[in-house]
Every structure is written in structure tokens, then in C-alpha cells.
Structure 1
Amino acid sequence: MSKTIQMPALSPTMEEGTLAKWLVKEGDTVSSGDLLAEIETDKATMEFEAVDEGVVAKILVSEGTEGVKVGTVIAIIAEEGEDVAAAAAGGGEAAPAPKADPVPEKAEAAAPKADVVPAKAAAAPAISSGDRVKASPLARRLAEVKGIDLASITGTGTNGRIIKADVESAKPGAAAPAAAGPAPAAASGPAAAAPAPVAVAAQDFGIPHEVIKLNGMRKTIARRLTESKQQVPHIYLTVDIQLDKLLKLRGELNAGLASRNVKLSVNDLLIKALGVALIQVPECNVQFAGDQMLQFKRADISVAVSIPGGLITPIVSDAGSKGVAAISESMKDLAARAKDGKLKPEEYQGGTASLSNMGMFGIKQFEAVINPPQAMIMAIGAGEKRPYVVDDTLQIATVMSATGSFDHRAIDGADGARLMKAFKELVENPIGMLA
């Protein structure tokens, strides 16, 4: 009996993903463990393996399709000896479109004109049901921006549904003449009355522009950080920290580690300092959880890394106990794989606190947004030569500003201040954090 392949949940929080690439085609024989496809989540691209063996009877979701809900049937595998054509036909009937895209169906019930476009005689029968064209909301919106008549496009999605890739490959200006269809009816729906906000704003001011679609990562960043600022009461504490001893120690350590091809960055040492500080002040190594709090026994530091299209926070586990050379090697590996989109979910989900360093951009000081469900993040500014009092005399020292953002539901101001004091002392007397 044929088996359906569903969109997998590649992380505990994954709700949808992009089917980036099929690694098999219809008619291919696959065995358990063979790679079927590459799936893009909001943070990484991961390979999806086959569990059962058989023949790929039908691919229901084309590569490049975005917003595929977890659990959506994406392909059908026929067992050995089974009629492939029959399996494909049967499987297609067993995988109804609403499961793949429940929102459009609900919208169609409330406002049919917004979700469908009158079909023209030239439209391919495969994409129409009666006089209506099947298209995803994204495809309709993109077609409107590009001025393309959906009825002139042949869909390649499930059951002939028009998807984003179909509209992108169509030529602009392919709209049918007004006489070919009831233009007033097509323009009377909410979708026609309310085009994309960005496009409207730009057109209102006559400013040349391009429409840049948000990728999954940017959507997730927007949602999570909005929720953080709305739901988490932030308190900010800033200290100035002298770096000269840390910089001297870094030079000495790098000279000793040169034979092992290890080169410590300042950030590696700051990760270590934050890890140790959180162990020294466990009241800040916590997570707010409604009517209770979680206090962690080790410090797993999420480190902000800028990658194309957004930001990701790979985790240095047990940073308080890990040696600085091990932290350095771990960060190099994590950052490289983060930029290639190859991190595993457990390598960027979790963490007990975060560190974000913008010193390399010359930023003197900033206040970072907490990454829920964590309760604190340390923002690191640039080290610079400043007048600074050392041993009761005014001298020139290398100084940086560090700002801790704390979830005030979980961390009192006094405890946050204790953490900032511990962090400052560790950085200014770095031998202590290596003991």
C-alpha cells in the first residue's frame, strides 16, 4: 500500500517551512535513509531523509514552495510491486488541498471574490474549478503587484494551483483586456481594494521602489522581537569596563596557542566572562515561566551572528566551565555553519542568556532586545581609548560600555546590578575567570 510523505517538523517550534529543493524525482526508487529533499526553516536549511523504501509515485508540492505547513502531504511513495500510477492517483485524492493551506479556504468562505479570479477561456482546465482560478494568496498578491492576469498562467502546484514560482516566471503585462472578463467584479474584492501596504505607501509618494518579500527568518525576527518588547518589561543597566588587561592576556594566550592554530577573539573571552558571571550570580541565569521560574545550573550562551537575510544565535554550551580555546573553536564552527544555514535546531534553540557584540561596527553603546524565553542579553560596545581614572590618577585606557537588558519579571534590578558588577570584574581581571 502506498505511503504519504508529510512536511516534517524539523524543530519543536517549526510550524511551516519552504520546500527548497527535491533531491529525487517521480519514478526514483528510494530506500530508508536516502535524502528526499532540502527543507528551509526560519533559521537553517536541513536535509529530509526517507523512512520507508519504495518508488516516488507523485510529488505533490513543487520545490520552491514557501509556507508549507507541518503535516502537509508533499509526496507519495509506492511500495515495491505496487502500480505507481494507481498509487499516485489514489494518494492525490487522499491529500486534500485544505490541509496544505487552510487559511485561503477559510477566507474563501467569507469573501470568495478576494481569493479567486474569474477564469478566462484560455486558462488551462487543470487550474480551474468551474469558472474560478485556484491560486495561493501570495501568488495573487504578487500577480497584482506585477500586473499579471492569473487566468493567463498555468499552475504547477497541487491540483494545478498557481503558486509564487508560477507568477515569478510569468511575464509582466500579461493581463487580459477588460472586455475579456468582468473587470468591476474582479476589482471589487478586498484584495483589489487593499494592495500590499508597502506598494501603496511608495506609490502614494511617487518614490521608485522594489518590493522585497520577507523571508521566513525575517518574519520570525519581526514576530519574536515585537512580542518581546510588548510582553517583556525590560530594564537596562550599563557599566564601563577597562579592557587593557584583557587585551594583554589575549595576546599572551594567542602566542601560546599559535602552535595549535587557535586564535582567540575578544568576543571569545567575553563569552567566557558572561558564562562565569552567570554562575556567580545564579539569580540572573533564569527564565520566567508564568507562575514559576527556572533557574539553570549551567550557562549556555547564545551569541548573535549576522547572516544573509537576518540574525541567528548559535549556542556555546556550558560557557562558564568551558576553556577559552574550546569556546573559540566552537564559535568558529558554529558561525561558519550558521552562515551556510547548516545548524541543527538544538544548536540555536535554547540557551540561558545571550551576548550581542556590535563593537566591530564602531557602536559605542546600545540596548539589545531580550530573546524570549531568555531573561537577559548583554550588549557589547566598541573598545576605545578614553580618559579613565586608574589608581586615583587620570590616564588613557581602553574602555568599552556593556549594557545588560533584563526581564524585570524574573530579575530584580539589584540582581542585575550584581551580574554587571561580576562581569566587569572578570573582564578587568581576566585571570580570575580562567582559574
Structure 2
Amino acid sequence: MFWSMWSSSEPQAKVIEAAVADFKAANPQVEVEVKFNGRDLFKLIKPALDGGEQVDIWEGDPSGGGGLATLKEHVFKLDDLLSENALGMDKSVKDSIQPSLMTWVNTLSSSVGLEEGGYAIPQQPYAVLFFYNKEVYEKAGVTAVPTTWEEFLGVCEMIKKSGVAPITFDDAYRDLFIGGYLSSAMGSDWVDQLVKDKTGEMWNDPIVHQFANDIVMMREKGYFSEKIAGSKYPAAQQDLVLGQSATYLNGTWLPIEVSNTAGPDFKWGSFQFPNVSNGNGKGGQQGLTFGSQGILMNKNSKNIPAAFELVKYLVSKKAQEGMVKEALAIPATIDTAWPEPLKDASVAFENASVNIPWGGGINNAGDFASVSIIPVFMELITGKINAEQYVTKMMEAAKKYYAGQ
């Protein structure tokens, strides 16, 4: 039994069905049942496994939904199986996967109390980057993507003069801009300390003042879309592909999500969050939020050899090439061409040396982000409070939040 996180109507399901068909043709004696649960899988998988249901394989983000932290009593350690030959490649399964992804997966085990090793096989990689409309950038005269914050502001000014809103985002991704700035300046470990500071004093750090002042300056110069205050997902991504906004901080799943609107000729570009000045030297573009949906196996499965044989088909180079073609996805296998809309993203993915958490760690303190950090940020970005009021309000919000713990 294989539980998929995709719905049967999604392009990823088409690739999975083809891989399963190939497996069945090569192993006619093995019965395979695939259940396309969609994202409901993340709510259903733990009760199913806790109840003893024989789900042999499932998909999920090892660091998130359907992953190691919530399912550590069920996951099977794959190290020995990973040495088996990969399908269609003259190397092991482990060596057929991008090294950065395998390293990342292996670091997750000890952090959740598991014996060190690999408990998932990366299958659907992702990264968080600024995506931009190349046509808008070109018309504005932008000839190179920015690598520093100062260059980014210069690009925003050029785009603003061209008559297009330089930056957009919606309610689903507001956290990325806050955490992106602070982690670029100070690194995600510092951001983790910031959001967990029970005294609230860290919110008075000079870099927080700089952040607040930069947001005010950008708002006053008209660098943010006028729609940001009430923008509900997926409105912002539609604005991007329709040329009403130029730049949107999001994940590498964005091109496929808007492919119907964008069309085949849309010119995608992407770049990492720029280096923010006056930091502590621990941030910058050495860090990147990246990871992967993966394949996990049930340690109580009665079909481990056959199940892993199917896994090899699901993570084979042929299947990954199918994901590139059908879902515009980043391939997990080495030496596999990236889809055209994500070609720029490959540079960031291959160069990053530090994996940073979602939002640069801005969400690391439970619901503090949703109840205080994001709402106060939105007050700042919409002009309801100024920079000094922002700092004061965040210091007070942290004290209040932790006083109630």
C-alpha cells in the first residue's frame, strides 16, 4: 500500500502512476495499491499508522508534514537499502540523489531523537527564492539580478519608475519576507533566539530597527504592491504572472501552480534573498531554505523488500525526468536537467552550504508568529505604525506572549 500526498488530478500523480505501471510490468507477482490522498495525507497518516494500518510507503516532508518528528516511532531506517543499485544509473540509490538533499535528510534524524541515519529518500525538492517576471525586469532596464540589499533597492526603484509594483506577497507567505531579511543579516540561529527571547529585549537590536526603517522607506517609495494589505492567496502570484507586480518571494512550486495563467512562454527568473548589510556575518547567501518531499517506509511493513523495490521506481531518474516535464519540478537525481522555469534556481540550490528553516526561523516559537509577528509587521508595512512603534510593539508582544506560557 502506497499513500501519496498528491491528488489524482495533479501532474505528479501522472508520473507516479507511470512509475507504478513500470514496477508492475517488471514484478507481475506483486500487488500494488496506490491511494492519492492529497494534502489530507498529513492529517491521516499518523492515525493510520498508530492504528496498525498496513501503509507500506508514504510521501511527506521529512522535516514537516508526514515527517520524522511526528512519525518517528513508525519510520524505517533505510541506510542498508540505500546501497542497492539505482534503476537506470550505474550507482547506488544513495549516490543517485543530489548530495545536498541526502546530507539534509541525514541531519534530521538526531534532531528528533532517532538513531543517526537516513529515514527518507528525497523525491520532490524545493527551495525558497524571489521569483520575478523577466519581461518586466527587462522592460525596466534591469540587466542583472541583485545580490546585495542595496542592489535590490536599486532594482525596485527601476521597476517602480517603469510603472509596475516591484514587490508583492499575500497572506500565505508574509512570514518569508520578515524572516528572509533578518536571517540574511544575522543567520537563522539568531532569528531562532529572537523569537524565543522571553524578555523581548532582542527586538530592540539595531538590526530590527534597520529592518523596520527599511520597510517604512520601501513603503513610502511605493516598492510594495498597493494590494498587499488585503491580498489573499493566491492573488499575489496571479498579479506576478499578469505583469502587475514584478517580484514575489515563494517556493519553487510556484511555476507549476500558475502555469495555466502564465502559459508556456512566460519568462521566469529567480534569485536568492539578497545579502543584508550590517549583520553579524552568519547570514547571507550561504544559507537557503530548501528541502524535499520524500518517500518514507513503515518499519512494521510486512513487505519491505518489495516496497523498497517500488521506491526505486518512484525515485528513479526516469521518474524524476517525468516530474521535471509534467510538474516543472526540481529533480532529486543527479545529472538530471532542471525545468526551464527553474534554471536560475539551480544556481542557488547548488551553491548554498547552510540549510535554514522555513521563514528563516521566524516561525520557530509556535504561534507567536501568527498572533504577533506577522500582524505587527502588516501594521508596519501598511503605515499604521512607524519604525520606532514597531520595535516597541514587538518588545511588548514578546513579553506578553511568554508571560502567558
TM value normalised by structure 2: 0.26
| The structure with more radius of gyration | 1
As a proportion of its length, which structure holds more strand? Answer: 1
Report 1 or 2 for greater relative contact order, CA contacts < 8 Å, sequence distance ≥ 6.
2
